[in-house]
Amino acid sequence: MNDDILGGMWKQLKGQVKQQWGKLTDDDLEQISGHKDEVIGLVQERYGWEREKAEMEVNDFFDRNSNRSA
């Protein structure tokens, strides 16, 4: 899912993102505004994961949820 598609679906996905990664705050989600790289960076930072693990988790999440929200 690219940033254009994610940005358009962000309001719908924001709640699901917060459920998936509870360490992200509402402020975090407002600042991210649907940019996948920023989601990856914050997940990496908050959970102490390596970049590759955070990227894999975020990509898997958006792949699973893009079909439901479209």
3-state secondary structure 3-49: HHHHHHHHHHHHHHHHHHCCCCCHHHHHHHCCCHHHHHHHHHHHHCC
Q: What is the pLDDT of residue 62?
A: 87
Question: 20 falls in which pLDDT band (50, 70, 90)?
Answer: very high
Q: What is the pLDDT of residue 65?
A: 85
Over residues 28-65, the pLDDT tens digits come to 988 888 788 999 999 999 999 999 999 999 999 988 88
Q: What is the pLDDT of residue 70?
A: 46
> 0.85 exceeded by the pTM?
no
Q: What is the pLDDT of residue 61?
A: 93
